[in-house]
Every structure is written in structure tokens, then in C-alpha cells.
Chains A and B, each alone.
Chain A
Amino acid sequence: MSTLIEPTALTNPVERVLRNDRIPTIWCPGCGIGTTVNSFAYALMASGADLKKTAIVSGIGCSGRVSGYVQLDSFHTTHGRAIPFATGLKLANPELTVVVYSGDGDLTSIGGNHLIHAARRNMDLLVVCVNNMIYAMTGGQAAATTPGAATSTTTPYGSFEPELNIPQLVDAAGACYVARWTAFHVKQLEKSMTEALKKKGFRFIEVLSPCPTLYGRRNGYADGLAQMKEYKELAKVKNGAPTYEVAITTGKPIIVGKFVDRDRPDYLTLMRSQLGAHYHEIAEAGVGCGDDSEGKEGCCSC
């Protein structure tokens, strides 16, 4: 008689950083978003970040749901505005590690202006952009990242505008860490996320992800695996590649790797050094709990 492992005894190591009561996720079979979240979960654990002091902010869309599956302080905000919300969190409580996790349409199109300015300010945020090259949640409309030759429900004859080279954009705007991986490169992605979590300033990681339901099936990929195979075949690791050379072109190599890693003072560091003595540190108790009864020192523990 063979020995069966009791299924209940098995636990996934990433469970402790996921909201297990929210799983299964809404994502389709073959979608790569969950794969990126797995890498992120390992990175969170490897980075040594205090999970109680880490917040995750998303916008709207399939990738916008990531915040809700991770056991951190999760904020599912409005379409395109995850970065400014995250900016507010970070400024008002500099102790927080703040991660923005959202999709290409959310971060680079409707939220593109915020992406540029957060990079320019060197706001101390890690932004993970899952790029599935399509507006998936709404049913497969063209995005700023949809390759020209690809078709979508709103570009049935193909798109007539070139796709955005996101790493080049954030590099030009001043990001101090820029990397790109795909859902195939799970270990590299995890390593990159771990490294970025430990770094200060505006950090940006683009992750290409298959979307078999709304991108793949209209563009010659039989399933999610077909897109993964393409990532494997076409990806070329070029660390330090100039970001103007990493645009994604159909059928051409997909350049992945860490493109930018530089140091410059982030917003709060600059603010403190420029304001000097004029700046009073924020009172630890924040707004306070309202208990102003006499005889107590500062804010009560609630």
C-alpha cells in the first residue's frame, strides 16, 4: 500500500503573505499575473521587509486586483491613481514601505502622468507594472502597450499607433531602478523585486504577462503556454541595456534585465536636507486617538 501525503498537511510557503480567504483569484487560467504575485510573495519574504509596515496599492484592472490578494495593508484605489495615493501614504508615514502593483493600462495610460511625476520626484515607491498589452478587465481593448500589428476589440484592423516603451519613459523621468522581466522569468523577477524592495527612491519593474483570454487568442497564441514559450524563446537578458533600445517589437527579441540602477536622493530626503532646522519631525502618535485625559503621556496605546 502506498503512502499518501495528507493534503491538509501541505502548505504553500507564500501562504503567509497572501490573503488565503480571497483565493481562488479572479484571474483566468493561463494568465501570468498570479505568477508575478508568487515571485512578489517570495521577494517580500526574502527582502526582510516588515510586513506590518508594508502597504500595497493598486489601481483598476486585472492587475489592479493584486493588492487584494496580498496580506498587507491593501488599497484598491481608482483607475490610474494608485501612484498618487501611494505618494500620500508614504509622505504622511515615511516608515511605510509602499508598493504600487498595477497594470499597463492603469499605470501608463490613464495614470501615465502620475508615473512620470513620481519618477521625477524620486518618490520612495516600488512600482510593479504587469504588462499584458491589453485592457483585459474590460474585454480586450487596445492599450498604449498593444503592439502595432496586434488586433484588439477596438483595433480590429490592427493599431495605427506605436506602443509605449515603458522603461525608456520612467528612465527619462528619473527612476533610480528600472527592470523588465516576463512571467517566464520567475526567479529573475523575484531577485529583481527583492533587490528593488531594499532600494530607496522610485523603482520600477515591468513584467510581461500572457493574457490568453483577451490578447492571446486574437493574436495567434493558442493558450497562455504559447505566450510563455515565446517569452522563453525571444527573451534576451541585457542588463544595463540603454532603455531606448528595449522597445517591444512583435517577433523581435524581448530585451529583459535590469536596465537602470542609480542613486539620487528621494523626495523626503531632499525635503529634510533642504528644510533642515525648520522641519519638525512628525509626532509619533499621528493624529492621536482622542484620549486627552490628564495624567497620560502622549497618546494612549490604542
Chain B
Amino acid sequence: MHAEKESVLTGIHFINGDTACCEGLLAAGAKFAAGYPITPSTEVVERFAQRAPTVGGLFIQMEDELAASITLQGMVWAGQKSFTVTSGPGYSLMMEHIGYAAMTETPCVFVDVQRGGPSTGLPTLPAQGDMMQARFGSHGDYSTISLVPNSPQECFDLSVTAMNLAEKFRVPVMFMMDECVGHMTEKVVIPPAEEIEVQPRRRTSKPPDEYLAYEVGEDLVPEMAHAGEGYGLYITGLTHDKKGYPLMNPKQQRELIPRLFEKISRAADELTIVEADGVEGADVVVVSYGITSRVAMRAVHLAREKGLKVGSLRLICVWPFPEKLIRQLAPKVKALIMPELNMGQVVIELERCSGGKTNVVSLPHPGGTVHDPLVILEAIERGAQ
């Protein structure tokens, strides 16, 4: 299925990442969204508030992020594609409903334009400190997908992917931007609608009397029906059976929760989304994501000028973590270097998956600005020895 023509602003634009993200979500079919203003994410919903009515949709500014993060799920169960946008403090408030979306298998996108934290932190400056929160933030245990763009162009392209993956796997997808990527203005090419692949809602073709809301097939993802279609849905955040009815016992918990993990882990290869540059035959590989990958690339170029064999592996999909790829790569290199705008979050996974087969170097940074490329260069030089 392709994007709808009226939702796609085909052309060459000079726009920032927040704006591009909004355009991407529109192109992906989202006409409805709920939000609450927070720097540095607000431009996304400002843009959407202007654009949505022109495509028959609407934006509602709710009274807080708790409300926004569940209003969007009402929109989804009414048959629409929807998302919300926030930054750190708001993202914390949304955690409960990320869990609700995971439990009820509500396809939606949560955009987090990361800023320095904890607490109010650095409202206008970048960080990547919410990466573990994206993975584990809501209570209980669940599995979702987190994508991390590193340019306004990718804010467009990848937000389409985010919505597509949400629909395909029926999970909340975390779109983990940061202040730099959100506010940087660059050329963004928006292709014609017919060139944009859009994953439609996985709707059931069964009549109401044969339909079970949480019956799954081969790929473990149930098919959806919406409110108002005569299916008499029963959707709950309680542990539930195939009908959606509450069934709270260890047996049902075992039936439901591992499936929520497996529907993602089964698609590990498809969800290994990386950009590799000179990784084959490299002595040292810099592993990074988001804005940090652009700084890392500068360091990689400087190192190559010095004759070092260094590669760059950019994680575009951070969660699920590309475990297989790292397990294969680790024994082949002297060092894996991971700069991130936090005190060392994703590097924990990098180290785990490396299994002691290489030297994993963490380059933490508390945020507020980006790394000095020379710090990464120095780590590359040490790692190559």
C-alpha cells in the first residue's frame, strides 16, 4: 500500500528534523495525534496542528502527557493511525501508557526528542539519556522497537518506517530523536506518494462471531477490529485471554507475555537496521547512533587519514539490539568504541553481545553538546594498538 497523495508534501525542502518527522508521520498515514508542549519537541505538533485539518484529521493538545499518551490510543482503536511527541520529562509521564500499548498491542508511535536530564535538566540542549527508558521504562516486562534518526532526512524516512513497524508488529514504536537532530535544518527530499510504502492496519477479515481479538497466526501478531464495527471488543491492560477477557493466573501470563517478546525477537533479522561503513577488515569499529554517529563519522575520517583501519557501524534500530551482528563482529576486531550522549547505556548491550571477544570502550558524555571528535579519535587510536 502506498501513501495517500494529499498527505505527502512531495518536493525538496529545507526543514528541521522536527518538521520532517511530522511530515513522515503524515506520509505514513497518521491524521490524528495528541500531545502536550515540551521543548525541544514542540515543533512537531505545531506543524501537525496546522497540517492535520487539511487531510481530514486533527491534533488535540491535552492537559498533560498522561492524557496525550492514552488519547492517541483511543484514536487508534477508533480506526486511525496516531502518535504523540514529547521530550524527557513528558516521556517519563508517558511510560504507563507505553506499557498499556504494549499490553493491548496498540500500534502507535511515541516520538521522544531527547534533551539533557534527569528531571528538567537541559530543556534546549541534546542528550541521548532516554535510551534505556525507551527499552525498559514502563513497569512490567515487554518488548518494543526503538528507531534513532541522525538527520532531518532520516527524521522523515525513518518516521514512516516507525509507523509501518508499529502497524506490522502491533507495538508502540519509540522514535528516539534528540535536540540536535530535531532542530538542525537540512535538505529533505520527500518522494512522491506512490514511492512511499505504507503498512496498512492489520484488520481482521473474520466476522464478529468468529473473531477473537488476541488469536494469533504464524507471526504471533493478532489482527485488529475497531470500536464501532460491531465486534464487541474487550480491551484491557489486565492479563487477558484470546478473547481479550481478563484472565489473571500464571498460566495465562505465560501464554501472553513471552509472545509479546517473541513477536519481536522472531523478526530480529528484519529489525537489524544499521548503516555500516568500512566495517569489513577494520581493526576498530565505532558503534554509535543518532547525532553522535555524525560526530563519530568525523573521527572515523580523521583516523582513516592517519592510515588506521576503522569502520563505523550506525545503529538505526537500537531496540531490539542487533545481537547477532555484534556477536559476529566482535571476534574480528581489536576494539568496539561506543560514544553516546549518556553515561553509558546502550554500551551495556554492546558489551554483553561482544561476550568478551573484543575490547569494548565506552565514551560517555553527560549531554548538553556533542562529543569532541578528537576524543573519539583518541579512543580509536588506542583501540587500534
Interface residues of A (CB under 8 A from B): 19, 22, 52-53, 55, 57, 68, 71-78, 80-81, 83-93, 95-96, 113-114, 116-117, 271, 275, 278-283, 286-290, 292, 302
Contact = CB atoms under 8 A, between A and B. Distances in A.
12 contacts: A52-B229, A80-B66, A81-B70, A84-B70, A84-B71, A88-B74, A93-B79, A282-B57, A287-B29, A288-B1, A289-B205, A302-B204
B82 A88 contact: yes
Interface in B58-85: 58, 60, 62-64, 66-68, 70-82
Contacts of A113: 63-64, 67
Given A78-B100, A81-B67, A88-B72, A280 B227 contact: no
Given A77-B237, A96-B78, A286-B80, A85 B56 contact: no
Interface in B14-30: 29
A105 B110 CA distance: 28
Nearest to A26: B246
B245 interface: yes
Contacts of B199: 290
B250 to A, nearest CB: 19
Given A84-B62, A88-B73, A91-B58, A302 B205 contact: yes
A281 B73 CA distance: 21
Contact of A279 (B56, B60, B76): B56
A292 B74 contact: no
A275 B199 CA distance: 30
B135 interface: no
B31 interface: yes
A114 B233 contact: no
Contacts of B204: 302
Interface residues of B, number: 58
A290 B197 CA distance: 11
Given A68-B246, A113-B63, A279-B56, A85 B73 contact: yes
Nearest to A54: B228
A73 B80 CA distance: 16
Residue of B54, B77, B97, B202 contacting most chain A CB atoms (<10 Å): B77
Nearest to A60: B237
A77 B201 contact: no
B236 A68 contact: yes
B62 A92 contact: no
Contacts of A73: 77, 227-228, 231-233
B260 to A, nearest CB: 17
Contact of B79 (A53, A280, A281, A287): A287
B200 A289 contact: yes
Contact of A77 (B1, B64, B100, B202): B100
Given A74-B234, A92-B78, A81 B66 contact: yes
A52 B78 CA distance: 13
A286 B238 contact: no
A117 B78 CA distance: 21
Contact of A71 (B57, B58, B232, B246): B232
B34 interface: yes
A158 B76 CA distance: 44
A76 B238 contact: yes
Nearest to B240: A76
Contacts of A116: 63
Nearest to A69: B234
A266 to B, nearest CB: 13
B355 interface: no
Contacts of A271: 58
Nearest to A79: B96
A130 to B, nearest CB: 18
B230 interface: yes
Residue with the highest number of chain B CB atoms closer than 10 Å, among A22, A81, A86, A271? A81
A78 B53 contact: no
Interface in B179-231: 199-205, 226-231
B237 A287 contact: no
B237 A282 contact: no
Contact of A92 (B6, B74, B205, B245): B74
B2 A292 contact: yes
Given A88-B74, A92-B75, 16 more contacts: A68-B234, A73-B77, A75-B235, A78-B237, A81-B66, A84-B34, A84-B70, A89-B227, A92-B82, A114-B63, A275-B53, A287-B29, A287-B201, A288-B1, A292-B200, A302-B204
B55 interface: yes
A92 B54 contact: no
A290 B201 contact: yes
Given A22-B245, A68-B236, A74-B235, A302 B66 contact: no
B228 A53 contact: yes
A85 B236 contact: no
Given A78-B97, A282-B31, A93 B78 contact: yes
B48 interface: no
A77 B238 CA distance: 9
Contact of B74 (A19, A89, A302): A89
